[in-house]
């Protein structure tokens, strides 16, 4: 009998994905593995170690707490905190886009990356002149170690759009101007999609997140980009019962048998991150075959239509994301059913789902 909710994570797949991404880069371009949000739901420390084995030389997170957790796990490689921080006391590089904040943290002797907002519309100096001023003040302050300039792309995953090349051109011009005054300055901009899409975005480092976990940044098929999904999600069959025509399963009776059917109950639900919006709206794999969810996803259980007859038994493994026999359900398929992106599916798996690394 399988566990009620288990995510199996292949650290070897993370390592191989990083090795593949590293193969796309020039010899002087570093791979930074983004392990924020607990490694996109995969486990930050374990995936960080796997990424480093695969060729990553740096790590990135969103918060100071995430950086501290990696340090507590014994990881000593350079870490960049990409999000907002209250101070710079964390043992990591910090992102700066405000000159007043730079002055406030200077006594803490920070390592800083100055961020230009080239069109993402979130964090970053929106005015190029302001970004230059921050760079120059950081370079002049002996208490500050100026590491890099950076930006972030809004539409790198939308192939054929015109915003990505406009952002890239704006950042390229900015980075070149900075390097005229500070030749040693590093520059980085590319996320997973930009890394795959355009070598011109690689600069001195790329910051890959979703791709290192074998998720497709373009929301289609990771295999098309040489990526291998690292996570499989499974449960097991806790009950099998025959339903007569007209009988229903789940809250609100949103599924009713039109004829006699066999129905399985799996002990996994939205309390584990298997979203209620998947009600009557996804398949699971049992016995190497696809079976549709039947009825409302509840907090702790889902019900599955096994057909008029079945060989499925109590205790059989059920795969919600992953491969069983010749069938496979990608995270990208689940995301499409939900009208969202693959990142949200894995990040949404709750702490109640045990992670098993291998």
> Has residue 221 been placed in a domain?
no
Are residues 322 and 233 in contact, defined by beta-carbon separation less than 8 angstroms? Answer: yes
Is the domain of 35 the same as that of 73?
A: yes
Is the domain of 180 the same as that of 307?
A: no
> Has residue 303 been placed in a domain?
yes
186, 215, 244 - which closes a domain:
215
> Has residue 63 been placed in a domain?
yes
Is the domain of 33 the same as that of 176?
A: yes
Is the domain of 39 the same as that of 171?
A: yes
Contacts of residue 189, defined as CB under 8 A and 6 or more positions apart, other chains included, come to 150, 151, 152, 153, 168, 171, 201, 203
Is the domain of 148 the same as that of 235?
A: no
pTM of this structure: 0.96
Is the domain of 239 the same as that of 199?
A: no
Q: Which residues constitute the domain of residue 295? A: 231-357
Phi-psi domain of 116 (left: phi exceeds 0; alpha: psi -120 through 50; beta: other): beta
- The pair phi, psi for residue 264, each rounded to 5°, is -105, 145
**Helix crossing, 44-53 with 11-23: angle to 10°?**
40
Mean pLDDT, rounded, for 228-233: 98
Residues tagged active-site: 36, 251
215, 245, 277 - which closes a domain:
215
What mean pLDDT, rounded, does the chain reach?
A: 97
Is the domain of 163 the same as that of 28?
A: yes
Mean pLDDT, rounded, for 134-143: 98
Sign of CA dihedral 204, 25, 344, 163: positive
Mean pLDDT, rounded, for 111-137: 98
Q: Report whether pLDDT(302) > 90.
A: yes
Number of domains in the chain: 2
- CA 256 and chain centroid, separation: 37
Is the domain of 29 the same as that of 140?
A: yes
Mean pLDDT, rounded, for 162-179: 98
Confidence of residue 88 (pLDDT cuts 50, 70, 90): confident
Is the domain of 182 the same as that of 292?
A: no
pLDDT at 2: 74
> Has residue 4 been placed in a domain?
no
Is the domain of 186 the same as that of 279?
A: no
166, 182, 215 - which closes a domain:
215
Structure tokens at 295: 């009825």
């Amino acid at each position: 009998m399988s566990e009620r909710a288990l995510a199996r994570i292949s650290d070897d797949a993370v390592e191989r994905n990083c090795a593949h991404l590293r193969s796309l880069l020039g010899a002087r371009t570093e791979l930074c593995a983004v392990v924020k949000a607990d490694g996109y739901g995969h486990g930050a420390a374990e995936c960080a170690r796997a990424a480093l084995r695969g060729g990553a030389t740096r790590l990135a997170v969103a918060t100071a707490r995430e950086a501290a957790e990696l340090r507590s796990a014994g990881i000593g490689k350079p870490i960049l905190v990409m999000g907002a921080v209250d101070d710079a006391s964390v043992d990591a590089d910090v992102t700066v886009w405000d000159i007043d904040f730079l002055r406030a943290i200077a006594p803490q002797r920070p390592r800083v990356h100055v961020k230009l907002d080239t069109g993402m519309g979130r964090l970053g100096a929106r005015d190029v002149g302001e970004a230059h001023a921050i760079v120059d003040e950081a370079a002049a302050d002996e208490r500050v170690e100026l590491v890099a300039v950076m930006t972030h792309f809004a539409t790198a995953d939308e192939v054929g759009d015109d915003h990505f090349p406009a952002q890239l051109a704006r950042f390229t011009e900015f980075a070149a101007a900075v390097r005229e005054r500070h030749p040693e300055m590093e520059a980085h901009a590319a996320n997973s999609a930009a890394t795959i899409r355009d070598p011109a975005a690689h600069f001195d480092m790329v910051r890959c997140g979703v791709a290192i976990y074998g998720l497709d940044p373009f929301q289609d098929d990771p295999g098309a980009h040489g990526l291998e999904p690292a996570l499989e999600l499974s449960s097991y069959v806790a009950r099998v019962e025959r339903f007569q025509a007209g009988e229903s399963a789940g809250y609100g009776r949103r599924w009713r048998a039109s004829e006699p059917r066999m129905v399985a109950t799996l002990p996994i639900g939205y309390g584990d991150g298997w979203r209620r919006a998947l009600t009557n709206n996804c398949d699971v794999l049992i016995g190497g075959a696809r079976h549709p969810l039947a009825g409302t996803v509840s907090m702790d259980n889902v019900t599955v239509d096994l057909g008029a007859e079945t060989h499925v038994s109590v205790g059989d493994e059920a795969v919600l994301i992953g491969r069983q026999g010749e069938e496979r359900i990608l995270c990208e398929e689940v995301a499409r059913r939900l009208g969202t992106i693959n990142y949200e599916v894995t990040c949404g798996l709750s702490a109640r789902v045990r992670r098993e690394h291998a």
